[in-house]
Structure 1
Amino acid sequence: MTRLPSLFLSHGAPTLPIDPSMPREQFASLSAEVPRPKAILMLSAHWGTLQPAASTSDAPETIHDFYGFPRELYEIQYPAPGAPDVARRAAELLGEQGMPTATQPHGLDHGAWVPMLLMFPDADVPIAQLSIQPRLDPAHHFRVGRVLRPLQAEGVMIVGSGQITHNLREADFSARPEDADPRVTEFTDWFETRLAARDIDALLDYRRQAPHAAFMHPTDEHLLPVFAALGAAADDYKLGVQSLGTFQRSLAMTNYVFGNA
């Protein structure tokens, strides 16, 4: 089987599926551009544990892990089947490399089901989730991706879901797209340039080297999934970039595809 690409998705606000002003169609176009996977292993910013955990749910529930949004959003269900065999295989691979990984039931949080609803609206691609470790660094998550590489030759697409910039404290929900803070572009340009150059060392050290890193990510759980996707990529990956814009002044949305050269 052809080796699948790995992806990083900026999942935006939970309202992405119901807000016509947000970039929904681009997720569908991205789905059409990448090979269809047998299953997906999703690392979302919204499931964090001290040590890795993999969800073995056969039918993961749709978790509405937010509050204060329109009722319409809470009525959405995303009934994708689980992929417990993928979860157990991921746990096996990580355990063999000294990263003990629990297996347990877990539903799909909004970092998982929101982008998957837009990419695979028929909910017909099995999904397993693997937790991130918010207390550990990008290098840990890069290593997790490296260890999981064999899955991509087995028809499993590794997807990290977070946000390329994520500073809710500075968000202005009345801002127009043209009101974007210029520091957002400086950060995303740096990140994209280093990704295109495959400068792994600089990327893993982004908190020291990237401009305005602490402003863009006061805590880095929303960026950690990109390092897992990067780790899963081929050494000579070809970078695909889907820039979706900046919203609420400080929240940029960019999707990355780490494809085969």
Structure 2
Amino acid sequence: MQPTYFINHGGGPCFFLNPGPMRDGWSELEAYLRDFIGTLDKQPRAILVISGHWEEVRPTVNFGAAPPLLFDYGGFPDHTYRLTWPAPGDPTLAIRVRTLLGAAGIDSGADTTRGWDHGVFVPLKVMFPRADIPTVQLSLQHGLDPATHLALGRALKPLRDEGVLIVGSGQTYHNMRGFMGGGGSADPAAEAFDAWLRAAMTDGATRDRSLIDWAKAPGARQAQPHEDHLLPLMVAAGAASGEQGQIAFHGHAFGKPISGFRFG
């Protein structure tokens, strides 16, 4: 059975900039993502990604056979808009995702034209540079309800026995004012929220309830003013509901703590 993961996808295409402050600020995360494939017991046959950069009225599956890249960022050098990551899509897996959601009573949609946003192609280009594993993206659902997204994950758990790696791609800290204005200084609220997350994610017995009530955690709204980048964690955790979690990564970016998790 494949585990599921929540990863931080970093600041846009910073991993592909020349050395300098913008890239250096993400150096710990970049090193982890580059070594990610070595943490897997076996290579997945396919990857399902849930990114914080795609929301729809109902969960929607990307059916593209060869999705283009969606350069949904601005202000970066020209070469970052010419990046490539030509991994194939997997329409058969997309059908399977919708079938599993339907069996759980979850209405879903299909999209045949949308490209992969940078929450998909930026980290996966670092993690799987050969771009040889079929990949499918699933959207978040408007409203960003934690219980709803945990249920999405639970519905998709059978994919793990089918060799599919489920990856939630977001940020455990996603306050852009904090990133840009913190100057790398200590941030007690951010540290408190990250410590809470690290404790809560390792306990399979209580993790779901903790995630439903995440906004009550210390420092929660300072770390996540808008929780779109936290919801992929709910899906990844839901796909391993009740199973033990592990802290797969812990580091800092521009002085803010960020953590990644493995479930199952």
TM-score by length of 1: 0.92
Higher helix share: 2
Aligned residues between the structures: 252
CA 1:74–1:173 in 2, change beyond 3 Å: closer, same or farther? farther
Q: What residue in structure 2 maps to residue 66 of structure 1?
A: 73
* Distance across 2 between alignment mates of 1:174 and 1:167: 10
Q: What residue in structure 1 maps to residue 253 of structure 2?
A: 246
* Distance across 1 between alignment mates of 2:102 and 2:32: 36
Check whether the contact 2:90–2:136 (CA below 8 A) recurs between aligned residues.
yes
* Distance across 2 between alignment mates of 1:216 and 1:25: 23
Does residue 138 in structure 1 map to residue 146 in structure 2? Answer: yes
Q: Deviations over 1:56-115 (max 9, x none)?
A: 100010110011111121110111100111111111111122211111222210000011
* Distance across 2 between alignment mates of 1:219 and 1:246: 19
Please identify, of 232-241 and 108-117, the stretch whose mean Cα deviation from structure 2 is larger.
232-241
* Distance across 2 between alignment mates of 1:238 and 1:43: 18
Give how far 1:16 is off.
Answer: 2.9
Runs of 4+ deviating beyond 4 Å: none
Q: What residue in structure 2 maps to residue 110 of structure 1?
A: 118
* Distance across 2 between alignment mates of 1:255 and 1:238: 10
Give how far 1:134 is off.
Answer: 3.7
Listed as ranges, the gaps of 5+ residues in structure 1 are none
* Distance across 1 between alignment mates of 2:14 and 2:142: 24
Q: 1:206 aligns with which of 198, 205, 214?
A: 214
Q: What residue in structure 1 maps to residue 263 of structure 2?
A: 258
SS state at 1:130 partner: strand
Does residue 7 in structure 1 map to residue 5 in structure 2? Answer: yes
SS state at 2:166 partner: strand
CA 1:180–1:124 in 2, change beyond 3 Å: closer, same or farther? farther
* Distance across 2 between alignment mates of 1:80 and 1:122: 8
Equivalent residues in 2 for 1:55-134, closer than 5 Å: 55-105=62-112, 106-134=114-142
Give how far 1:173 is off.
Answer: 5.9
Give how far 1:143 is off.
Answer: 0.5
The residue type equivalent to 1:50 in the other structure is V
Q: Deviations over 1:1-22 (max 9, x none)?
A: xx10001010011133224412
Check whether the contact 2:144–2:227 (CA below 8 A) recurs between aligned residues.
no
* Distance across 1 between alignment mates of 2:251 and 2:87: 25
Q: What residue in structure 2 maps to residue 196 of structure 1?
A: 202
Does residue 28 in structure 1 map to residue 34 in structure 2? Answer: yes
* Distance across 1 between alignment mates of 2:52 and 2:163: 23
Listed as ranges, the gaps of 5+ residues in structure 2 are none
Check whether the contact 2:58–2:142 (CA below 8 A) recurs between aligned residues.
no
Check whether the contact 2:154–2:241 (CA below 8 A) recurs between aligned residues.
no
Check whether the contact 2:50–2:232 (CA below 8 A) recurs between aligned residues.
yes
Two-structure CA RMSD over aligned residues (Å): 1.6
* Distance across 1 between alignment mates of 2:13 and 2:253: 15
